[in-house]
């Protein structure tokens, strides 16, 4: 799917967030083993992904799926299967969160899982390799899951979720989004969205710098 201005707001919003998840998970897997990308920048992106992916699928399971099922009970089985995939994603996120990106290689407070993962003897190369493997597993899980989810979810959003229902759900999601590296969300939305649609979010210029470091563009 490509973004279609004529589609429902629910579908375009969801597609845009899914694109962020695709781009961000791919970026972490690719950037993890680049020596020029600081461990601290990788830790920030890792923590962003763990927090936001969990928040996203929990909001679907707890709030969006019940709204759809209330309007279309036939969708319940398919949505339940997607929730089972969310559990597998959680397991992959647990492994990603357990990679130790703290200690002397990262500034105090960076990295979600201080003290977990590789142990004190692991060097920078070992840290990066472990992060790459865990990030690749999350990337593959997310991409496969979205390929299963979108053919079911997008028609359901078009047919069974009213604009008012979507606005209420979206506001709840925004209000409860974890405050983890929100500047990265601005940067990713700028990449996958249309400027006029994300312009209100682009007040933070730091996001562009953070993504440049992760992409190692040198620009």
Instruction: For the chain, give the number of residues.
Output: 219
Read off the pLDDT of residues 103-131 as tens digits, 9 standing for 90 and up.
Answer: 544 433 334 433 334 333 347 778 999 99
Q: Which residue has tokens 């997310």?
A: 142
Sign of the dihedral through C-alpha 209, 178, 136, 13: negative
Task: Report pLDDT for 193.
Answer: 67
| Stretch 10-25: mean pLDDT | 94
Half-sphere exposure of 67 (CA within 13 A, CB side): 23
CA nearest to 117, candidates 96, 90, 134, 99: 99
At residue 68, the 3 state secondary structure works out as helix
CB count, 10 Å around CB of 107? 12
Q: Output the average pLDDT for the chain.
A: 82
Ranking 9-13, 126-130, 177-181, 213-217 by mean pLDDT, the lowest is 213-217
- Per DSSP, helices labelled H in 72-181 are 76-98, 124-160, 163-176
Pick from 57, 80, 76, 77: nearest CA to 160 = 76
Answer whether residue 40 shows pLDDT above 80: yes
Q: What is the pLDDT of residues 133-170, one digit of tens each?
A: 999 999 999 999 999 999 999 999 999 999 999 999 99
* Share of residues in the chain with pLDDT > 70 (%): 76
Residue 186 pLDDT > 80 = no
Distance CA 98, CA 4 (A): 38
Q: What is the pLDDT of residue 203?
A: 41
Model pLDDT, residue 218: 53
């Amino acid at each position: 799917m490509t973004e279609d201005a004529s589609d429902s707001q629910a579908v375009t919003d969801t597609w845009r967030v899914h694109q962020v998840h695709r781009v961000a998970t791919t970026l972490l897997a690719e950037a993890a083993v680049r020596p020029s990308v600081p461990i601290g920048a990788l830790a920030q992106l890792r923590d962003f992904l763990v927090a936001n992916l969990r928040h996203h699928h929990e909001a679907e399971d707890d709030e969006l799926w019940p709204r759809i099922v209330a309007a279309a009970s036939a969708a319940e089985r398919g949505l339940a299967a997607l929730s089972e995939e969310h559990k597998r994603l959680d397991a992959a996120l647990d492994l990603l969160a357990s990679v130790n990106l703290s200690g002397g290689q990262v500034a105090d407070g960076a990295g979600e899982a201080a003290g977990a993962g590789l142990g004190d003897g692991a060097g920078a190369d070992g840290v990066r390799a472990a992060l790459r493997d865990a990030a690749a597993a999350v990337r593959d899980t997310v991409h496969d899951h979205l390929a299963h989810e979108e053919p079911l979810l997008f028609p359901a959003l078009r047919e069974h979720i009213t604009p008012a229902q979507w606005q209420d759900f979206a506001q709840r999601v925004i209000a409860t989004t974890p405050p983890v590296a929100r500047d990265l969300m601005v940067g990713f939305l700028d990449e996958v969205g249309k400027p006029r649609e994300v312009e209100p979010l682009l007040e933070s210029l730091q996001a562009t710098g953070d993504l440049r470091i992760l992409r190692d563009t040198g620009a």
